[in-house]
Amino acid sequence: MRTAIFDLDGTLADTSADLIAAANACFIGRGHAAPLDHATDALTAFRGGRAMLGLGVERLGLTDLIIDEEYQTLLDHYDAHIDVHTRLYPGVEAALDRLAADGWVLGVCTNKPEWLAETLLQKIGIRDRFAAMLGADTLPVRKPDPEHLIETVRRAGGNMARTVLMGDTTTDRDTARNAGVPVVLVGFGPLGAGIAELKPDAILTHYDELGDLLDGLVPR
């Protein structure tokens, strides 16, 4: 049985605009102008809430204490507006359906808090495609610790020897390397063609290509 495990933010869906809006809301609530832009700061958005708050603090010349003070506010705002602008990347649903029909077991391994990941997957209508979903706080460890991926595969009923990880960042690349499985990184994220510098086993340019690409990495 072959297993395909997916990262969420920046891999299955472009969540950057809603993440950036949540971070900006924290600064606006303190009387500052919004310091982040969803078009140019998407990469930071995919690195998480603290990374976004840290960048905003740096640009506005504020104290780092704000990062801890505003982190829960960011999560609450994001939870309330989690799917305003978020969209699946083109071809995702059809690709997941084709993989399932071809016998792949699917799962999600994300560094997004579990409750937010569950909420988002439900709202964008694809939660039922995945046999397992582990978030940043599901276990005591998270990516790039390989146990995060290994436990996702175990809960999905898969086999690490027949697993591939889909992601979009250095964290996903390192997770796969640490776990000894192939990694596919998307070429349509903020890094664009620069993703090749991370030397993944393959680069996905469109979800229409996913089935053939995975067949090449984990043969039938």
Catalytic residue, candidates 7, 9, 41, 168:
7
What is the largest distance, in Å, between two alpha-carbon atoms of the chain? 57
Q: In this structure, are residues 53 and 28 in contact, taking their beta carbons and an 8 Å threshold? A: no
pLDDT tens string, the chain, 220 residues long: the values are: 899 999 999 999 999 999 999 999 999 999 999 999 988 999 999 989 999 999 999 999 999 999 999 999 999 999 999 999 999 999 999 999 999 999 999 999 999 999 999 999 999 999 999 999 999 999 999 999 999 999 999 999 999 999 999 999 999 999 999 999 999 999 998 888 889 999 999 999 999 999 999 999 999 8
Model's pTM, two decimal places? Answer: 0.94
Enumerate the H helices of 102-191 as residue ranges: 114-123, 146-156, 170-179
Say if strands 13-14 and 87-88 run parallel, antiparallel, or are unpaired.
antiparallel
Is 7 known to be catalytic? yes
Say if residue 95 is exposed, middle or buried (CB neighbours under 10 Å; 0-12, 13-18, 19+): buried
Under 8 Å between Cβ of 179 and 149: yes
Q: Where are the alpha helices (DSSP H) in 10-48?
A: 16-29, 42-45
E strand spans, 29-157: 87-88, 105-109, 132-134
Give the pairing of strands 105-109 and 87-88. Answer: unpaired
Q: How far apart are CA 176 and CA 3, in angstroms?
A: 13
Cis peptide before 144 (omega within 30 of 0): yes
β-pair partners for 163: 3
